[in-house]
Amino acid sequence: MTAPGVAWPRRAGALELRTPTLELLEQVLVWRNRPEVVRWLLHTTVDPETFIRVWLEGVDDADQHTAVAVLDGTVIGTGTLHVHDGIGQFDGDAWRRSEAELGYLVAPAHAGNGYATDIARALLSLAFDELGLRRVTAGCFAGNPASWRVMEKLGMRREQHGVRDSWHAELGWVDGFTYAILAEEWAATT
């Protein structure tokens, strides 16, 4: 199930974003647990069965917009947009399902080609132009400039620099960044 009016697959630059299937997720797992990928993830190595089960269960959740990015028949990335309630006083419904958290991941062989930016741009468009959300956030380790540059290219603003707020399996406690963009800021960039 997806939110009314949300259609898959959808274009993201040269990529096609597709709803996760068992076959596509098995292709993601070919590179998902590689050291150069897990280095910058909070959820490092994943159990393949659990990974597939969670992603497939998310397909039926109207608040989970997950996609597998395909380039010329090859799975090269993933994207996630998790819709949730905003922070607010609980009289009225303006805060309900008004925000989302954005995530993206690209296979190492395809990194550096702008695909993460394409995935993130398509999901921000979904968030603001189709779902009518008011705010989207994303986070990364401060030591991962490739990720925070994607967010900055898309007009997201750095709202937090958390000093030693994120546990890194190899480096211990490291700094993390949180970025955000509002609907009206997104509209000004498009």
- Percent of the chain at pLDDT > 90 equals 76
Q: Given this model, what pLDDT does residue 2 score?
A: 52
Give the tens place of pLDDT for each residue, 37-65. 888 887 777 899 999 999 999 998 989 99
Q: Given this model, what pLDDT does residue 1 score?
A: 46
- For the entire predicted model, the pTM comes to 0.93
Q: Given this model, what pLDDT does residue 11 score?
A: 97
Q: Evaluate if residue 97 carries a pLDDT over 80.
A: no
- Give the residue-averaged pLDDT of 147-169: 94
Q: Evaluate if residue 5 carries a pLDDT over 70.
A: no
Q: Evaluate if residue 135 carries a pLDDT over 60.
A: yes
- Give the residue-averaged pLDDT of 173-177: 95
Q: Evaluate if residue 137 carries a pLDDT over 90.
A: yes
Give 169's pLDDT tier (boundaries 50, 70, 90): confident
- Domains of the chain: residue spans and CATH: 10-189 (3.40.630.30)
- Looking up tokens 């799975």, which residue turns up? 75
